[in-house]
Every structure is written in structure tokens, then in C-alpha cells.
């Protein structure tokens, strides 16, 4: 876990930010200027050209651009992409990083994972050097989040909590956080208490971040490589994976996806081609509670695209 975790209302406005920080964000000035004002941050540089699924070239460009500028810390302010860029930059330069999620789902502020694109293919990386020096989780950023982003993020957090619970790498510590995260997120969605999402996502990050995600996430990359948002693809993928694994979370996960009105997924490539892309993803598949063959993957994909698993 990060050495410093600040959580709750006003956490981001009460934090003391080092001077000459580089703020990295995916949002536009009309939004982030309001945020920076709330945070009371002074004397900073800003890089606002991060796009979703950041490429390694973008990260190297930022590194070059600010070399010699004595940046004291990176502040990742935004969705998973802003935080992933900070994590990778921090590993390259050794400069401390402060991560502030604004869409609440990946739990990335708590984990040693980063997703970076190489040659237009998303790659999940893990490195102790990716861990934040400080994570700030403040529900201030939640209002105004578009419904689509909110539901995709919530679905990601739910998938991570439940896959993390079932992971072979799980232990009583990770299960404690995954179980609590799922309970909170489920309550937030089923009872429209969206202000609980940031806390649930944060606990999910601690839980799965110290175990792993599994088959649901492995399946989802076939769809995200074709442009489907990560959280959206998990709605069907994790549902089918939970069914395959006979997970205790199968019905509960499916019900929250129904409540969020996710629709069925399509795939351009053949099921066989997609299975060939998924099979080498040992980081997810080896931690799945049950062994998975290529035929199992084809069957899961068939259920996802040809039968509606959320019905």
C-alpha cells in the first residue's frame, strides 16, 4: 500500500503539495482549473495531453519535456490513464508520485499495476516502483462524472474485488478487503448511493492489488483491443468467468451489471483468434481458481458474444 493514504471529504484540499510538481491529467482546462483551485496547489507545471490507454511514446515524451526542470513530484489527477502515466514516469525518473483518482474504479492509486500501450496493444505491467508515494481519495471529484464513465468504473471495481477474492494468490488479508469492497460497491449501485463508490473502489484496489484479477480480466482484453472500454467489457466477461469458476459472486455480480444496463458485446475477430490472444496472458490465467484450456476460453467467448450472459 502507498505510505500515505488520505481519504474522505476535503482530503485533496487539505493535502500539502510540494512546490514545482508536474500535474498530469486527461481532462480539459475548464475542469482541471476548478480542481486545482480546490486543491490549493501553487507553482506547478501541467501536462494535459494524456489520452486513454497511454502509449509508451507519450510517457517518454513527457520525460524528455520536463528533464532539467527540477520537478519535485508527479501528481496524477484523473482516471486510470493519468495515474498509469505517473507510475511509469516515476519508475523511469525516481521522482515521487501522488495519485488522485477522479473516476473511481481502477483502484490504481493503491496498486503496483500499470497499463501501458506498446505498438497499440495494451500491456498490464507490475512493478514495485509503480506504487504511489501518496494516494488521495476524495469524493469531491464524483459529481458531474458522466454516467457511462461512472458505470464502467464501478463495474471494473466490482470485477476486481470479486476476481481478486477468488484469485489463487488470495489470502485472508486480501479477501477481507475484496469482500468489504464488493459489499460497499454493490450497495452503492443497487441502492443508488453513488457517493460510496470512491471508498469501495479504493478498498478493491488494496484487495486485488495484493492478489490479482483472473479469467474475467483475461477475457476482457480481446474486447478492449477492439476499442470496448475496460469496465464495459468486464460486465459480460467477468459474469461468464464467475459462472465458469462457480464463484460465490456470480449472481451478485450479474445483478449489478443488469442494474447498470450493460448491453451485449460483439467481437470482430473469430473466437479462435481471440482465444489465441488470451491464452498467453498467464498473469491472469495462472491465478484463476480453476485451470483454463483454450477450449474453455472459446466456450466463454461464445457465451459472451452469441448468448446474452446478462439476460
Helix (H, G, I), strand (E, B) or coil at 101: strand
Q: Which is nearer to Zn ion, 122 or 175 (CB)?
A: 122
Q: Which is nearer to Zn ion, 21 or 225 (CB)?
A: 225
Does the footprint of Zn ion cover residue 53 (CB under 5 A)? no
Q: Which is nearer to Zn ion, 138 or 156 (CB)?
A: 156
Number of Cβ within 10 Å of residue 147's Cβ equals 10
Strands, sheet with 44-47, edge to edge from the N-terminal-most edge strand: 4-7, 134-137, 97-101, 74-78, 21-25, 44-47
Reference 103, options 213, 26, 34; nearest CA is 26
Q: Which stretch binds Zn ion (CB under 5 A): 5-13, 154-162, 177-185, 280-288?
A: 154-162
The minimum distance between CB 31 and Zn ion, in angstroms, equals 24
What distance in Å separates the CA atoms of residue 176 and residue 79, rounded to the nearest whole number? 25
The minimum distance between CB 107 and Zn ion, in angstroms, equals 8
The three cell numbers locating residue 92: 523511469
Q: Which is nearer to Zn ion, 53 or 156 (CB)?
A: 156
Q: Which stretch binds Zn ion (CB under 5 A): 21-29, 151-159, 177-185, 201-209?
A: 151-159
Residue nearest to Zn ion (CB): 156
The minimum distance between CB 9 and Zn ion, in angstroms, equals 26
Does the footprint of Zn ion cover residue 84 (CB under 5 A)? no
The minimum distance between CB 173 and Zn ion, in angstroms, equals 20
The minimum distance between CB 230 and Zn ion, in angstroms, equals 6
Q: Which residues contact 8 (CB under 8 A, 6 or more apart)?
A: 137, 138, 139
What distance in Å separates the CA atoms of residue 66 and residue 71, rounded to the nearest whole number? 7
What distance in Å separates the CA atoms of residue 150 and residue 135, rounded to the nearest whole number? 20
Q: Are strands 134-137 and 4-7 parallel, antiparallel or unpaired?
A: parallel
The minimum distance between CB 291 and Zn ion, in angstroms, equals 22
Q: Which residues contact 96 (CB under 8 A, 6 or more apart)?
A: 72, 73, 74, 90, 133, 134
The minimum distance between CB 254 and Zn ion, in angstroms, equals 17
The minimum distance between CB 282 and Zn ion, in angstroms, equals 17
Q: Which is nearer to Zn ion, 48 or 180 (CB)?
A: 180
Q: Which stretch binds Zn ion (CB under 5 A): 72-80, 135-143, 149-157, 182-190?
A: 149-157
What distance in Å separates the CA atoms of residue 243 and residue 193, rounded to the nearest whole number? 27
Q: Which stretch binds Zn ion (CB under 5 A): 38-46, 55-63, 156-164, 252-260?
A: 156-164
For cell 449489478, what's the residue? 256
Does the footprint of Zn ion cover residue 156 (CB under 5 A)? yes
Kindly state the number of chain residues that form the binding site for Zn ion, as judged by CB under 5 A. Answer: 1
* Contacts to Zn ion from residues 63-82, by CB under 5 A: none
Residues that bind Zn ion (CB under 5 A): 156
Amino acid at each position: 500500500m502507498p505510505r500515505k493514504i488520505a481519504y474522505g471529504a476535503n482530503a485533496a484540499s487539505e493535502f500539502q503539495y510540494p512546490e514545482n510538481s508536474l500535474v498530469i491529467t486527461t481532462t480539459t482546462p475548464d475542469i482541471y482549473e476548478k480542481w486545482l483551485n480546490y486543491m490549493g496547489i501553487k507553482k506547478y507545471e501541467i501536462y494535459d495531453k494524456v489520452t486513454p490507454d497511454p502509449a509508451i511514446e507519450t510517457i517518454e515524451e513527457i520525460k524528455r519535456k520536463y528533464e532539467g526542470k527540477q520537478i519535485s513530484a508527479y501528481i496524477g489527477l484523473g482516471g486510470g490513464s493519468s495515474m498509469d502515466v505517473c507510475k511509469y514516469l516515476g519508475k523511469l525518473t525516481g521522482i515521487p508520485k501522488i495519485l488522485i483518482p477522479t473516476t473511481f474504479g481502477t483502484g490504481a492509486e493503491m496498486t503496483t499495476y500499470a497499463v501501458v500501450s506498446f505498438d497499440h496493444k495494451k500491456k498490464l505491467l507490475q512493478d514495485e516502483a509503480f506504487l504511489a508515494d501518496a494516494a488521495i481519495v476524495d469524493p469531491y471529484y464524483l459529481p458531474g462524472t458522466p454516467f457511462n464513465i461512472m458505470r464502467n468504473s464501478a463495474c471494473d471495481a466490482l470485477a476486481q474485488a470479486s476476481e481478486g477474492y477468488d484469485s489463487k494468490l488470495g489470502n485472508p488479508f486480501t479477501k477481507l478487503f475484496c469482500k468489504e469492497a464488493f459489499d460497499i460497491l454493490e450497495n452503492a449501485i443497487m441502492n443508488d448511493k453513488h457517493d460510496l463508490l470512491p471508498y469501495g473502489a479504493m478498498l478493491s484496489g488494496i484487495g486485488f492489488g495484493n492478489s490479482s484479477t483472473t479469467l474475467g480480466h483475461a477475457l476482457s482484453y480481446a474486447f478492449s483491443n477492439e476499442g470496448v472500454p475496460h469496465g464495459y467489457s468486464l460486465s459480460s466477461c467477468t459474469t461468464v468467468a464467475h459462472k465458469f469458476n462457480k464463484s460465490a459472486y456470480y449472481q451478485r455480480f450479474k445483478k449489478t451489471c443488469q442494474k447498470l444496463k450493460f448491453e451485449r458485446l460483439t467481437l470482430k475477430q473469430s473466437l479462435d483468434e481471440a482465444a489465441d490472444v488470451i491464452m498467453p496472458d498467464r498473469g491472469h490465467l495462472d491465478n484463476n481458481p480453476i485451470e483454463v484450456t483454450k477450449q474453455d476460453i472459446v466456450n466463454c467467448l461464445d457465451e459472451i458474444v452469441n448468448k446474452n450472459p446478462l439476460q
